[in-house]
């Protein structure tokens, strides 16, 4: 019960990494708000996790949405800015609208989360956890917007950490940089690739440890950063990527 009594909000928690974090947080004694645009999946997960979980509809790109959801939280000890999308395409291929949408969800969403949760946390202190990616440090030709967005998340994390430290809020802000993790979204890409085995083998080859990651392995790092064990840790990025960013 490393997170007993903690109140935690996880964005994008209806699926993938967010759902794994919500599950583990509840198992560690926390109360969790599953915040997502995917109502059906979010409500189903909240029902599965029992009385210490509830679903809240939140589009992280909408300022008013954040204000409404946070008005329903008496207190918050941990925010995980996890909601994210992956736009495929090179600098030549993608449109301005696609680029803006990627930044809206992955960058503006993190900005709004930090901006509106800090006032709620600063009396008691807390932990902000931003889910970036190893793509924020290692560029790929066909992930132009995603590379840029996740690099922004890493640097925003440092700036927020310094701001909160300088004001002595007791709020820590850290980033997790996952490598490729086996989630439904990766499975979808594989099944659409037309060459499942070769694509999967190439993904694995990019991970020196010899396999892709599991959602629970990201959740384990999030538990540490959410807990008081990480009280001296801020402004840091934690690569949980099987060595793929090396
Ligand atoms: P996923 O698609 O399974 O889950 C993302 C969730 O975010 C979904 O439930 C979706 O409904 C929600 N979402 C999307 N737009 C939203 C919005 N505007 N407001 C609120 N919720 C929204 O993806 P995942 O693989 O679990 O990824 C979670 C995070 O981890 C993302 O930020 C992603 O970039 C990052 N990440 C994932 C991997 C990986 O291999 N899966 C690797 C590195 C980083």
Could you give the angle at which helices 144-166 and 109-121 cross, rounded to 10 degrees? 20
CA dist., res. 147 & res. 26, Å (int): 32
Strands in 126-131's sheet, in edge-to-edge order, are 53-57, 31-36, 7-11, 78-81, 126-131, 171-178, 237-240
Q: 83, 180, 239: which to mutate for ligand 1, most atoms within 8 A of CB?
A: 83
**DSSP-assigned beta bridge partners for residue 240:** 178
Q: Mean pLDDT throughout 159-183?
A: 98
CB 225 within 8 A of CB 174: yes
**Does any domain span residue 23?**
yes
**Does any domain span residue 2?**
no
Q: How many C-beta atoms lie closer than 10 Å to residue 132's C-beta?
A: 28
What six digits make up the tokens of 208?
């020196």
| Domain CATH for 129 | 3.40.50.720
Cβ within 8 Å of residue 64, ≥6 positions away:
none
Cβ within 8 Å of residue 123, ≥6 positions away:
none
**Does any domain span residue 1?**
no
**Does any domain span residue 177?**
yes
Whose CA is closest to atom 10 on ligand 1?
A: 12
- Per-residue confidence at 30, pLDDT binned at 50, 70, 90? very high
Query: Ligand 1 centroid vs 85 CA: distance in angstroms?
Result: 5
* Total-model pTM: 0.98
Question: Is pLDDT at 184 greater than 90 in this prediction?
Answer: no
Cβ within 8 Å of residue 11, ≥6 positions away:
18, 35, 36, 58, 60, 79, 80, 81, 82, 83, 109, 113
Question: Is pLDDT at 191 greater than 90 in this prediction?
Answer: no
pLDDT on residue 155: 98
pLDDT on residue 187: 85
**Does any domain span residue 206?**
yes
What six digits make up the tokens of 206?
């990019």
**Does any domain span residue 246?**
no
Q: How far apart are the first and last CA of the chain?
A: 34
Give the pLDDT confidence of 205-214 residue by residue, as tens digits: 999 999 999 9
How many domains does the chain divide into? Answer: 1
Query: Ligand 1 centroid vs 46 CA: distance in angstroms?
Result: 17
**Does any domain span residue 132?**
yes
**Does any domain span residue 115?**
yes
Give yes or no for residue 188 CB within 6 A of ligand 1.
Answer: no
pLDDT on residue 136: 98
Question: Is pLDDT at 131 greater than 90 in this prediction?
Answer: yes
Q: 12, 147, 237: which to mutate for ligand 1, most atoms within 8 A of CB?
A: 12
CA atoms within 13 A on the CB side of 175: 27
The boundaries of the domain holding residue 34 are 7-240
Q: Mean pLDDT throughout 21-35?
A: 98
Mind telling me the catalytic residues?
146
């Amino acid at each position: 019960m490393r997170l007993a009594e903690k109140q935690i909000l996880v964005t994008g928690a209806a699926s993938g990494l967010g759902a794994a974090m919500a599950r583990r947080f509840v198992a560690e004694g926390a109360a969790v708000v599953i915040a997502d645009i995917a109502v059906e999946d979010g409500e189903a997960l909240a029902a599965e996790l029992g009385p210490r979980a509830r679903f809240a509809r939140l589009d992280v790109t909408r300022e008013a949405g954040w204000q409404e959801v946070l008005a329903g939280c008496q207190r918050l000890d941990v925010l995980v800015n996890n909601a994210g999308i992956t736009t495929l395409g090179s600098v030549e291929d993608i449109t301005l609208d696609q680029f803006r949408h990627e930044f809206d969800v992955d960058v503006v969403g993190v900005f709004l989360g930090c901006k509106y949760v800090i006032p709620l946390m600063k009396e008691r202190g807390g932990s902000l956890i931003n889910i970036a990616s190893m793509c924020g440090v290692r560029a790929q030709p066909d992930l132009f917007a995603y590379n840029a967005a996740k690099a922004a998340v890493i640097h925003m994390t440092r700036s927020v950490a310094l701001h909160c430290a300088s004001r002595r809020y007791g709020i820590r802000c850290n980033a997790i940089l996952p490598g490729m993790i086996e989630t439904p979204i990766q499975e979808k890409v594989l099944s659409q690739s037309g060459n499942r085995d070769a694509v999967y083998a190439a993904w694995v080859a990019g991970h020196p440890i010899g396999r892709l990651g599991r959602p629970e392995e990201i959740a384990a790092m999030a538990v540490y950063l959410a807990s008081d064990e990480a009280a001296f840790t801020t402004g840091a990025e934690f690569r949980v990527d099987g060595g793929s960013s090396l």
